[in-house]
Structure 1
Amino acid sequence: MSPTGWALLGMLSGGEEMSGYDIKKWINWAIRFFYSSPAYSQIYSELKRLERLGLVSSRVDAGVRSRRMYKITESGLAAVTRWANEDPVEAPTLKHNPILRMMLGHLLKPGRLREILAGHAAYAEQLQQAAATEVRWTSEQPAWSYARLALKWSEQYYAAERELALQMIKDLDAAEEAFGEAGREGVQFPMPEYWYEVERRIAAEDTPGVEDPSA
């Protein structure tokens, strides 16, 4: 089972029938704030796989628009309940492109980092406001009490992201001044010998009775 498969089972765990389109809309309403949104093609391929495994069933709804509706089976509900309670919870995987550009700031043209951080702050503010809207609309649904907590976390997370981006914009002047004093000629990055020495010093700090070799 892929993480996306478990997420789809979780969304079907309420027992209602849903189409692939319904599931994608539900992801866009709530899940996208804290879990990457799969494409329609991935959703449909995962649903087919879940059906082959006997975890969901499907039928064709021959209405105005013929569509396939999916419903979780008893086996599927038991499986996702077991997964939610017993499987290890993996640590989040962070791929923060603005901060990666910050790390490589010595390569960027003057002013480019400010553009990137300002864009990220605007993006975070947009998602914060969207999450706040979802929090407001879920407050009247008791069945969404846990989902509402996840959305409140999302609202606070993106508020913090925005504040961090704005703070880094303020800190850029000091970083640029320090880098300028170090000189732009012959920048060695990331200087392996230096980091190996840092690694040895950290190991010495973490090992009782072992003195820092550079002392």
Structure 2
Amino acid sequence: MTEHAGGETDGLNVSPTGWALLGLLTSGEELSGYDIKKWINWAIRFFYSSPAYSQIYSELKRLERLGLVSSRVDAGVRSRRMYKITDAGQVAVERWINDDPVEPPTLKHNPMLRVMLGHLLKPGRLREVLTDHAAYAEQLHQAAATEVRWTTEQPAWAYARLALKWSEQYYAAERELALQMIKDLDAVEETFGENVTGGIQFPVREYWYELERRIAAESAQGDPGGDPAN
């Protein structure tokens, strides 16, 4: 299978979210956009960004134009459009998940960006940010743990349970890292205060260039444990 520029695979321009939606439809059942959003909020939100309803419906229409899903209007009590994967969609999503390269995760960690630029924060503000983040991580840890319990009785959810179990452990670790960082702040603030005179220069361009050269030399020597001061 070839992957083309712009996210095209075998001529199909499908976004990562589109592939996720196709994957959810492989159960064979018809699902509405609302059904899909509920499933995403139940499990996928722990490890993949949760699309808005508007994006879900936009992606479903796109997949239908590509012939990967079909739809019909269910004129019940609440008229709704139901989507079902086509044979072509089943073949495409199986090829994608088996043959396409698995991209490494992209981390955009806003609390850590605040930590990196901590010299700009008002006194006490970084503790608030990290405390809030620890609480957020604990909230998701507990939510994932609840979902793990409710997947146990359904054999068909065994793979979903694996992902949810990972999510439970991930957010527990995230919470502990935030709490440890709060404990480490005293020493950091003390060291930072002692070494700052006449304002701060961050980063110092010449220093980073020199550091880059040292790291390159260290890597060339195959000695990752070398003393960076030498």
Alignment of 1:7-46 (within 5 A): 7-46=20-59
Please give the alpha-carbon distance, in whole angstroms, between the structure 2 residues aligned to 1:120 and 1:153: 19
Out of 197, 200, 203, the residue aligned to residue 190 of structure 1 is 203
* Secondary structure of 2:27's aligned partner: coil
Please give the alpha-carbon distance, in whole angstroms, between the structure 1 residues aligned to 2:197 and 2:182: 21
Asked if 1:83 is matched to 2:93, the reply is: no
* Secondary structure of 1:70's aligned partner: strand
Alignment of 1:91-130 (within 5 A): 91-130=104-143
Out of 163, 175, 187, the residue aligned to residue 174 of structure 1 is 187
| Cα displacement (A) at 1:208 | 3.6
RMSD: 1.4
| Cα displacement (A) at 1:207 | 1.7
Task: For structure 1, list consecutive stretches of 5 or more residues without a partner in the other structure.
Answer: none
Q: Which residue of 2 aligns with 1:140?
A: 153
* Secondary structure of 2:153's aligned partner: coil
| Cα displacement (A) at 1:121 | 0.4
| Cα displacement (A) at 1:185 | 2.5
Please give the alpha-carbon distance, in whole angstroms, between the structure 2 residues aligned to 1:97 and 1:200: 29
| Cα displacement (A) at 1:205 | 1.1
Alpha carbons of 1:156 and 1:59: their partners in 2 closer, same or farther (altered >3 Å)?
Answer: same
| Cα displacement (A) at 1:186 | 2.4
The residue identity in structure 2 corresponding to 1:140 is: E
Q: Which residue of 1 aligns with 2:81?
A: 68
Identical-residue share of aligned pairs (%): 83
| Cα displacement (A) at 1:115 | 0.4
The residue identity in structure 2 corresponding to 1:105 is: G
Q: Which residue of 1 aligns with 2:163?
A: 150
Task: For structure 2, list consecutive stretches of 5 or more residues without a partner in the other structure.
Answer: 1-13
Please give the alpha-carbon distance, in whole angstroms, between the structure 2 residues aligned to 1:94 and 1:39: 20
| Cα displacement (A) at 1:40 | 0.4
Please give the alpha-carbon distance, in whole angstroms, between the structure 2 residues aligned to 1:56 and 1:47: 8
Q: Which residue of 2 aligns with 1:2?
A: 15
Please give the alpha-carbon distance, in whole angstroms, between the structure 1 residues aligned to 2:85 and 2:157: 19
| Cα displacement (A) at 1:203 | 1.0
* Secondary structure of 2:73's aligned partner: strand
TM-score, normalised to structure 1, is 0.96
Q: How many pairs does the alignment contain?
A: 212
| Cα displacement (A) at 1:149 | 0.2
TM-score, normalised to structure 2, is 0.90
